Structure 1
Amino acid sequence: MKKGNYNRFWRWHFYAALFITPLLLTLTLSGIGYLFYTNVENQLYDDFFFGTSEKTEELTIDQGISNAENLHKGFSVSKVIVLDGSYNTRLTMSDENGEQKYVFLDDNYQIVGSQNAEKTFSNIMRNIHSSLLVGGAFVNYLVELAACWAIFLLLSGVYMTIKGKALKKKQNPTNRQINKKWHALLGSVIVIPMIVIIFTGLPWSAFMGNFIYSAAQENPSIGIPTLKQQPPTSDLSEVPWATRKNEAPSSNDAHAHHSNMSDGSGMTDESNMKVSVQQLMQKVEEAHISKPYSIVYPMSEDGVFTVSKGSNTGVTGLDVHPNDEMTTYFDQYSGKLISEVNYDDYGILAKWFTWGIPLHEGHLFGWPNKLINLVVCLAFVFVIIWGFKTWLSRKKAGQFSAPPRVASGVPIGFIALLIVLGIIMPLFGISLIFVVCIEGIMYLIKKQKTTSSTN
């Protein structure tokens, strides 16, 4: 039974690795690229981030925004990102087809240049890592499934390393034994940090991510605090993970302030009398909100300006420490601060992932975080390579050389492991049903062939 149990782990480990290895390599290598996106972009987009315009006339930020919208016809500003230090201000502009541009303004709010949002290094790496540049529900679920099965690969690998005594010193080891030893050794060393990296990335996943977020929303005491007012219609992709779907308050003074708004230097929008961005930034400063932060425009008459500081924004220069996360809502007509939610208001689940996501992305504690993630990811790549070499070294010419099928009963320990993993990772549990069905069909086919040959 013990040998049968080992072979069963071996067989599932082999087939899982065979089918998801291409995905795992893609996710790992794109993850490495994303680890260093801020460093790459600081060099690659130096002129946009830190450059200045040839025009030296000092403008207000609202004049700069107006110039950007005049230059890029059909596009309107939806977000203003105010960065610290020597970074230029970044505008996010969108058209009716959903296409986005990033426009950069220097200290005088003159236009420095623009980017196609889809073509930036960070967005390309993010799209490869999360959706393989293809997108769609199926691909998103496939990526998440690969991450879930990677957990099984790591745990089953540790089991086989211990039971198979793969690390035991052997006299005159064969090439296969050497590859197997390195595969087992590295896999065992990185199992805990790799599982941490995988689990801290799952909040952004399609299936489990929504499950976690729903649980955090429905249980404010352990999850996300809820502001019981009308939700905004703004795009909240750069609001912190823990509040990106929160209900936000509405602007109650939709018309009360019309007569009080000036059309002078404040540059108030005459069409709907919104407070200008310059006026809003003054209100933000009065609220003692320091840079960096992002401003998300209201998209309806009773919407609000959302000003936030996040630890997982995906924007170079915008991330802050988890403890400094905050999301504030300002009335779009008066500029009055309506309400605020910050890190201290989060429940334990939201706090956990507020720390976990930047840990996953490699910027929670600076360069050491990046280097640790890099080493773990590279080690994982080598584990995959040595696993492949181990298979090739025992593979017979013209044969698949898969691990042998086990005829004995399924042990309780194996079943318990699969059930626990299936509960923790529901998508993995669903996939197990299909795997068991395939195994059952293959068993029946083989049994039928055996019966036919004996008759």
Structure 2
Amino acid sequence: MTSDVRELNSAPERSRPAAWPALRALVLRLHFYAGILVAPFLLVAAATGLLYAASFQIEKIVYAHELTVEAVPPGKQRLPLARQIAAARTAHPQGTIGAVRPAAEPEATTRILLDAPDLPESTRLAVFVDPYTGQVRGALESYGSSGALPVRAWISTLHRHLQLGEPGRLYSELAASWLWVVALGGVVLWLSHRRRALRPDRTAKGLRRTLSWHGSVGLWIAVGLLFLSATGLTWSKYAGANVDKVQTALGWTTPALSVSGGDHSGHAGHSGGDSAGAEADADRIAAAAAGAGLSGPLEIVWPAGPGAAFTVKEMDREWPQRNDQVAVDAASGRVAGELRFDDFPPAAKLIRWGIDGHMGVLFGLPNQILLMALATGLIFLIGWGYRMWWLRRPTKGFAAPYARGGWRAAPPAVLLPAGAVAIAAGAFIPLLGIPLLAFLVVDVVMGRVKASG
């Protein structure tokens, strides 16, 4: 076992510059510290992310009664949206209509979204109506723009902040801030190893076998982990605010739907009240959107008040190119504004695709399966990492592969640029910078204590 450890810790350095051993020491120490101290946060994020990726299918099973009709009557036409809305309002007269999502599939129900009192922020009451009979199939709280129902919404908040509210978001931001560092560091260490391989060595034993699996699997999923880290930071509190500033400065923000002509007080896309005769207008609004080229699934957003325009949005996140929007004048029924996904800046499109990919809605089930595979791989990587630490823990008599603080031996021409990059990254991503500074200080102090002892 001792000879295995010595060989694992060695690397061909004859052809590398003198700075490489010191830089590798820094990467190795950061990978080690992050693996020990940050890995628990990554483990929780991976486990809850795995559950969230599966929550879409769980939601369909748990709420099958509300989401689907009992049977599609042969040859029977759907009722006008006005009658479906009236049925929902009769069953639930409280609140005001915020939006309507007509049934997108033959077996699906229509979802009427009500802004009801005493609901949490970003939550509406979704009333599910059979589009063929007008029967109300049930009512559930619906969270966010994705329309997450209670089970998926609970799993989502568990993944985002562990049901702890705003303070809990620090856990997920810490995980996202360090995931890319751990992934890139692991790739550098594995590719610099003389026995690097794309496949694990099934003939190896003990520590070598664990390292083989840890390195090769980490290499395969590294790109996916980098993607999850980058997109996860867009939702974070501190780094996310900096991301927003960069997007605004570079013109990468998503354009807004503008309304031209007529008296459109208020802003298209805002819900907030029933306008006179709005239920009767719903079918005409949907027909106008269809004439403008929009196809289901759709969401018809109620106007902010009398005279304001309806907004109709395509909600097909599985195919992001179908995310067009139109504003429809309530009085005339004409299209008063358009926002086409094709007209988005390239960066805004990438951001949209990235967010949808992180959520598991891009391309539907294949996206969710990929996310579950990445989460499972990360869980195993963390387990193998702790196993390697346990096999070569100090109490077993193994020396550290590099002296603590040894990275300071790197030449200034290498160390100073690396430090500048670290400072810039730490300033942009505070929950990376603060722990990184702490790690380096602790490493230097422990190195001096050991040297003086």
TM-score range, shorter chain: 0.7 to 0.9
**In structure 2, what residue type is equivalent to 1:405?**
R
**In structure 2, what residue type is equivalent to 1:359?**
G
Q: Is the 8 A contact 1:275 1:333 kept in 2?
A: no
Q: Is the 8 A contact 1:250 1:302 kept in 2?
A: no
After superposition, residues 145-156 of structure 1 pair within 5 angstroms as 145-156=174-185
After superposition, residues 296-315 of structure 1 pair within 5 angstroms as 296-301=301-306, 303-310=308-315
**In structure 1, what residue type is equivalent to 2:116?**
D
Q: Quick one: distance in 1 between partners of 2:284 and 2:81?
A: 10
Give the equivalent residue in structure 2 for 1:375.
Answer: 373
Structure 2 SS opposite 1:20: helix
Give the equivalent residue in structure 2 for 1:355.
Answer: 353
Spell out, residue by residue over 1:129-165, the C-alpha distance to the aligned partner (whole angstroms, 9 max, x if none).
32323231x4334412311211110111122223343
**In structure 2, what residue type is equivalent to 1:92?**
L
Q: Find 1:391's aligned residue among 389, 392, 404.
A: 389
Spell out, residue by residue over 1:109-143, the C-alpha distance to the aligned partner (whole angstroms, 9 max, x if none).
3311112336633322322232323231x433441
**In structure 2, what residue type is equivalent to 1:64?**
Q
Give the equivalent residue in structure 1 for 2:4.
Answer: none
Structure 1 SS opposite 2:35: helix
Give the equivalent residue in structure 1 for 2:13.
Answer: none
Give the equivalent residue in structure 1 for 2:222.
Answer: 191
Q: Quick one: distance in 1 between partners of 2:34 and 2:427?
A: 17
Q: Quick one: distance in 1 between partners of 2:443 and 2:376?
A: 36
Q: Structure 1 residues 342, 209: CA separation in 2 closer, same or farther (over 3 Å shift)?
A: farther
Any stretches of 5+ residues in structure 1 without a counterpart?
A: 225-241, 256-267, 311-317
Spell out, residue by residue over 1:80-137, the C-alpha distance to the aligned partner (whole angstroms, 9 max, x if none).
112422211112223233343221011133311112336633322322232323231x
Q: Quick one: distance in 2 between partners of 1:332 and 1:409?
A: 68
Q: Quick one: distance in 1 between partners of 2:213 and 2:90?
A: 60
After superposition, residues 147-226 of structure 1 pair within 5 angstroms as 147-165=176-194, 167=196, 175-220=206-251, 223-224=252-253
After superposition, residues 18-417 of structure 1 pair within 5 angstroms as 18-52=36-70, 60-72=80-92, 74-86=94-106, 87-99=108-120, 100-107=124-131, 108-117=133-142, 120-136=150-166, 138-165=167-194, 167=196, 175-220=206-251, 223-224=252-253, 242-243=254-255, 246=256, 248-249=258-259, 252-253=262-263, 276-301=281-306, 303-310=308-315, 318-365=316-363, 367-397=365-395, 404-407=403-406, 409=408, 411=410, 413=414, 416=417
Q: Quick one: distance in 2 between partners of 1:432 and 1:332?
A: 52
RMSD: 4.0
Give the equivalent residue in structure 1 for 2:3.
Answer: none
Structure 1 SS opposite 2:408: coil
Q: Quick one: distance in 1 between partners of 2:275 and 2:99?
A: 19
Q: Structure 1 residues 188, 304: CA separation in 2 closer, same or farther (over 3 Å shift)?
A: same
Any stretches of 5+ residues in structure 2 without a counterpart?
A: 1-18, 144-148, 266-272
Q: Is the 8 A contact 2:327 2:335 kept in 1?
A: yes
Q: Quick one: distance in 2 between partners of 1:385 and 1:295?
A: 47
Spell out, residue by residue over 1:414-437, the C-alpha distance to the aligned partner (whole angstroms, 9 max, x if none).
664565476568543663255325
Structure 1 SS opposite 2:118: coil
Q: Structure 1 residues 59, 370: CA separation in 2 closer, same or farther (over 3 Å shift)?
A: closer
Spell out, residue by residue over 1:37-74, the C-alpha distance to the aligned partner (whole angstroms, 9 max, x if none).
33333332221111259xx9986433433443443354
**In structure 1, what residue type is equivalent to 2:119?**
G
Q: Structure 1 residues 146, 305: CA separation in 2 closer, same or farther (over 3 Å shift)?
A: same
Structure 2 SS opposite 1:133: coil
Structure 2 SS opposite 1:324: coil
Q: Quick one: distance in 2 between partners of 1:21 and 1:437?
A: 16
Tell me the CA shift for residue 329 of structure 1: 1.7
Q: Quick one: distance in 1 between partners of 2:393 and 2:207?
A: 10
Structure 2 SS opposite 1:68: helix
Structure 1 SS opposite 2:293: coil
Spell out, residue by residue over 1:248-290, the C-alpha distance to the aligned partner (whole angstroms, 9 max, x if none).
43884369xxxxxxxxxxxx96758797323322322333322
Normalised TM-score (structure 2): 0.75
